[in-house]
Amino acid sequence: MQNVLVTGGAGFIGSNFIRYLLATSPIVRITNLDAMTYAGSLENLINLPDPSRHILVQGDITDAVLVGHLLRRYEIDTIVHFAAETHVDRSVLNPQQFIQTNVLGTFTLAEAARQYWLVDQSLHGRVLRFHHISSDEVYGSLKPGEPAWDENCPYAPNSPYAASKAASDHIVRAYGHTYGLPFSITNCSNNYGPYQFPEKLIPLMVLNAWGGKVLPVYGDGQQIRDWLHVADHCEAIYLVITKGKVGETYNIGGGSQPTNLEIVYQLCAILDELYPESPHTPHKMLIQFVADRPGHDQRYAVDFSKIQRELGWKPRHNLGDGLRQTVEWYLDHPQWVSAIQNQPDYQAWISKNYQSRPEKTG
């Protein structure tokens, strides 16, 4: 890797990866293409390691002219594709945006890379890689006792978000098979950690509890997820790009499968311990069970033995320590929290999706 295009680099995982990459590789130069929608923020890019090797370009990954221009201007040899609409609840309410960004956007990037790298052969002799970040949700939902998904499991997406990610995976793989695009794909489990937009479960619960607001738990809270710290995810992505086999898919998981309700209880207990003087202790009293979202998958879990076996990767963070560090990060960064929460889109979304959601009945 020398000249890297990171898409969605002002978002949660993308900005964490940029920090990791700048700190890890002293020769890498990064072009960060981000549409700067609600989930992308300049706050995520403050105090980067060696910011002189990073440039932010505001633009849409569906803009073929812009993407082609960036590849040529900065002689991009590596594309790390994070940019995506990611929140399942939003995909239920507005599926068209997910198809536009996740499917058409991925196609636009793959086609631009094909033209620049393979047709024009502008970087002949250079090592090239198109790396696509995907989700474990493409595999569907597991029943209790079923084994975790490995890389050979069939796709069975259940939400518009998951379907759009499954389609984007297939596009990338097809470009590799048909045109010889040098690609790799990673399917990760649920991420958590610093800079995560507080519409997702963990930061939403932390910030609501700290503010004495209701903690809305979908259904009975027994949905199971495999939680992966974003720092571990970034390390895994770097290993796949630099040492993983071209044309391969690798699952990345955290190795823990608590229920959502257990996660909320853990977060409340951490807050109780860190701030016993809080007027809202015990914070678990703020929990309110609300109507579940349509088609809510019951359980996700990935088998990441392939990346462990081939590349020597395994998660460094255990869930307990990772959650505690995450809670501390959000409470230690009130300026970041305020900047995000004061966005009009954020307030409107929280009101639409949570405050107006009825309590669970029965």
CB atoms within 10 A of CB 294: 10
Catalytic residue among 137, 151, 169, 232: 137
Amino acid at 302: V
107: helix, coil or strand?
helix
Catalytic residue among 136, 169, 226, 235: 136
Contact 301, 257 (CB under 8 A): yes
Q: Which residues pair with 58 in a beta bridge?
A: 34
Q: What is d(CA 290, CA 334) in angstroms, rounded to the nearest whole number?
A: 28
Known catalytic membership, residue 89: no
Known catalytic membership, residue 161: yes
Catalytic residue among 20, 116, 139, 161: 161
329: helix, coil or strand?
helix
**What are the angstrom distances between the C-alpha of 23 and each of 123, 157, 341?**
26, 36, 29
Q: Give the DSSP per-residue string, 143-183.
A: PTTPPPB-TTSPP---SHHHHHHHHHHHHHHHHHHHH---E
Q: What is d(CA 309, CA 131) in angstroms, rounded to the nearest whole number?
A: 20
Known catalytic membership, residue 136: yes
Alpha-carbon Rg for the chain, nearest whole angstrom, is 20
Q: State which H helix or E strand residue 5 sits in.
A: strand 3-7
CA dihedral 349, 351, 352, 354 (to 10 degrees): 100
The structure tokens listed for 349 are 């979304």
Residues with catalytic roles: 136-137, 161
